[in-house]
Amino acid sequence: MTYISPEKLADDAKNVLEELNARIEPLKPKDRMAIPAQEMPSQDPAVRRGNMEEVALGYTPEQAKLEAERCLQCKNAPCIAGCPVAIDIPGFIQAIADGDNLKAIDIIKESSLLPAVCGRVCPQESQCQAPCTVGKALKSVGQAVNIGRLERFVADWEREQGLIETPTVKPETGKKVGIIGTGPAGLTVAADVRREGHAVTLFEAFHKPGGVMIYGIPEFRLPKAIVQKEIDTLTAMGCELKTNFVIGRTRKIIDLLEQDGFDALFIGTGAGLPRFMNIEGENLVGVYSANEYLTRSNLMRAYDKERSATPIFESEKVAVLGGGNVAMDAARTAVRLGAKEVHLIYRRTEVEMPARVEEVAHAKEEGVIFHLLENPKRILSDEKGWVSGIECLRYELGAPDDSGRRRPVAIEGSEFEIDLDTVIVAIGNDSNPLIRQTTPGLETNKWGNIIADKTGKTSLDRIFAGGDIVLGAATVILAMGEGRIAAASINKMLVED
């Protein structure tokens, strides 16, 4: 994709909009489909390689209006069925087309509590935008109405106009709800439960709340200030926040219920336990899990070398193992931390990559070198026990596996080596076993995820769970959706008490 400057995109949109405004006849579907899909203005790849600032800059008002005019307002609204929290997508897009941004954001907020976050990180191309009629008619999901970008536009508009209000809290009920984990699942439960007048305490193991949105997803994709704004709203509503508080260590689940007077608990502890490949050399100095690497950079601000006390190794040649969003984030962070070469090694092809298409495109633009159909066999060491390289095998695709994706098969004798000083393993995460190990009777499945029914209730009385700790590593919107369901169940239970 060739880079187009934000100024050019803005000018083009203005010109097209002027032409549309000059029309007397109302727009027909074919006119709407002829409107060019609006590209997201972004920082120049050559510049952004050297900074942590957000890459995507957001639509101008003219671009948003034009993009909204592309929507056909389908009666059957396939986009709504594609949205895990069923936002009234045609409704909010029509409001943007009508110039009523306030109405648009109100419509979104009926279903989603974190639109500025979801507008940035949701995998729209495989959710709401996948079944879009415009994309289908134009034979490319890339040509679908850019629902996520429009969601982001109105959420940013609301924040920039200073219109975000603290939601009204009903009179105190005297009931206490404890929320363990402050990712999107926990934050959502906090908001929905507090609104009903119950006292809410959030417990967070790290020194900062926000879960993966703070420690995992980098600033250049999701500015921390946006997540912090959500947390400020919760504290303004009267939620109490206890950081550096590890449930299972500082206090156990049972203590919260039996000694500390909590009437209900929600466990939203995510999937923060990194998986490794179990290959030779994984214990060498210079091998990181993506979680550690990203946490050092994001949460501990290691990238801010002048001011941060947390060091991070200054790598020259890095390999990132994996093909998901986490791998893209790690690779793009390594670029920004100054690595001269960043290799992304993935054993299937780009088609099977779980990462968002946009993230893959951005990583390529920023110079990440993609090694597809290749996989490490062992990590090589120098005489001091530091990473010196990696030995890989080439692969080909065989028959489909259980997931329906074609199984990668190693090509015998295809070994080759790459010189490196750093390896980042980004092949997935499991749930942390601490709560499971310290809470007798809490049922989990074979992967260690907590089992919850469709109301979010676990095997234990008064204990609910949701997000990645139940689903396994998933998405922000699914975590938020689960949080809403569990909050409704908690509120119902407390009223009936």
Ligand X SMILES: Cc1cc2nc3c(=O)[nH]c(=O)nc-3n(C[C@H](O)[C@H](O)[C@H](O)COP(=O)(O)OP(=O)(O)OC[C@H]3O[C@@H](n4cnc5c(N)ncnc54)[C@H](O)[C@@H]3O)c2cc1C
Strand residues in 121-215 grouped as ranges (E): 176-180, 199-203
How near is the Cβ of 190 to ligand X at its closest, in Å? Answer: 11
> What burial letters (b/e) apply to 363-374, b meaning 16+ CB within 10 Å?
bbbbbbebbbbb
Work out whether 358 is an interface residue with ligand X (CB under 6 A): no
- 3-class secondary-structure state, position 344: strand
CA–CA dist 476, 392 (Å, integer): 33
How near is the Cβ of 203 to ligand X at its closest, in Å? Answer: 5
CA angle 372-378-384, nearest 5°?
A: 125
CA–CA dist 67, 88 (Å, integer): 17
How many other C-beta atoms are found inside a 10 Å radius of the C-beta of residue 404? 7
Interacting residue with ligand X among 9, 113, 116, 121 (CB under 6 A)? 121
How near is the Cβ of 118 to ligand X at its closest, in Å? Answer: 8
CA–CA dist 330, 427 (Å, integer): 11
Work out whether 468 is an interface residue with ligand X (CB under 6 A): yes
CA–CA dist 134, 31 (Å, integer): 12
Site for ligand X in 289-328 (CB under 6 A): 294, 325-326
Interacting residue with ligand X among 17, 107, 145, 180 (CB under 6 A)? 180
Work out whether 333 is an interface residue with ligand X (CB under 6 A): no
Work out whether 390 is an interface residue with ligand X (CB under 6 A): no
Interacting residue with ligand X among 54, 69, 204, 421 (CB under 6 A)? 204
CA–CA dist 346, 390 (Å, integer): 13
| 62 or 482: CB nearest ligand X | 482
Site for ligand X in 397-456 (CB under 6 A): 432, 434-435
Determine phi and psi for 266, rounding to 5 degrees: -125, 130
Q: Which residues contact 2 (CB under 8 A, 6 or more apart)?
A: none
Q: Using an 8 Å Cβ cutoff, are 188 and 237 in contact?
A: no
| 62 or 468: CB nearest ligand X | 468
**Binding span for ligand X by CB under 6 A among 2-10, 84-92, 388-396, 472-480:** 472-480
**Binding span for ligand X by CB under 6 A among 70-78, 171-179, 211-219, 224-232:** 211-219
| 43 or 269: CB nearest ligand X | 269
Work out whether 206 is an interface residue with ligand X (CB under 6 A): yes
Work out whether 115 is an interface residue with ligand X (CB under 6 A): no
CA–CA dist 375, 415 (Å, integer): 10
Sign of CA pseudo-dihedral 467, 472, 473, 474: negative
| 134 or 469: CB nearest ligand X | 469
| 205 or 418: CB nearest ligand X | 205
How near is the Cβ of 51 to ligand X at its closest, in Å? Answer: 19
Site string for ligand X, 244-283 (x = CB under 6 A): --xxx-------------------xxx-x-----------
Q: How far is CA 144 from CA 71, 75, 80, 120, 191, in A?
A: 9, 17, 14, 17, 32
| 197 or 354: CB nearest ligand X | 354
| 84 or 389: CB nearest ligand X | 84
Work out whether 185 is an interface residue with ligand X (CB under 6 A): yes
Work out whether 211 is an interface residue with ligand X (CB under 6 A): yes
Q: Using an 8 Å Cβ cutoff, are 214 and 181 in contact?
A: no
Work out whether 476 is an interface residue with ligand X (CB under 6 A): yes
| 187 or 420: CB nearest ligand X | 187
> What burial letters (b/e) apply to 200-222, b meaning 16+ CB within 10 Å?
bbbbbbbebbbbbbbbbbbbbbb
Work out whether 119 is an interface residue with ligand X (CB under 6 A): no
> What burial letters (b/e) apply to 84-115, b meaning 16+ CB within 10 Å?
bbbbbbbbbbbbbbeeebebbbebbbebbbbb
How near is the Cβ of 90 to ligand X at its closest, in Å? Answer: 22
| 13 or 327: CB nearest ligand X | 327
How near is the Cβ of 58 to ligand X at its closest, in Å? Answer: 17
- Joined together, the tokens standing for residue 27 give 């727009």
| 119 or 186: CB nearest ligand X | 186
Whose tokens are 């390529």? That residue is 364
Work out whether 182 is an interface residue with ligand X (CB under 6 A): yes
**Binding span for ligand X by CB under 6 A among 33-41, 79-87, 202-210, 311-319:** 202-210
Q: Using an 8 Å Cβ cutoff, are 67 and 59 in contact?
A: yes
CA–CA dist 58, 150 (Å, integer): 9
Work out whether 141 is an interface residue with ligand X (CB under 6 A): no
**Binding span for ligand X by CB under 6 A among 145-153, 231-239, 461-469, 484-492:** 461-469
How near is the Cβ of 425 to ligand X at its closest, in Å? Answer: 13
Interacting residue with ligand X among 68, 105, 200, 205 (CB under 6 A)? 205
Nearest to 335, CA basis, from 305, 357, 304, 303: 303
How near is the Cβ of 35 to ligand X at its closest, in Å? Answer: 28
How near is the Cβ of 348 to ligand X at its closest, in Å? Answer: 19
Assign residue 399 a region (left: φ > 0; alpha: ψ between -120 and 50; beta: otherwise): beta
Interacting residues toward ligand X by CB under 6 A: 121-122, 180-186, 203-206, 211-212, 216-217, 246-248, 268-270, 272, 294, 325-326, 329, 432, 434-435, 467-469, 474-477, 479
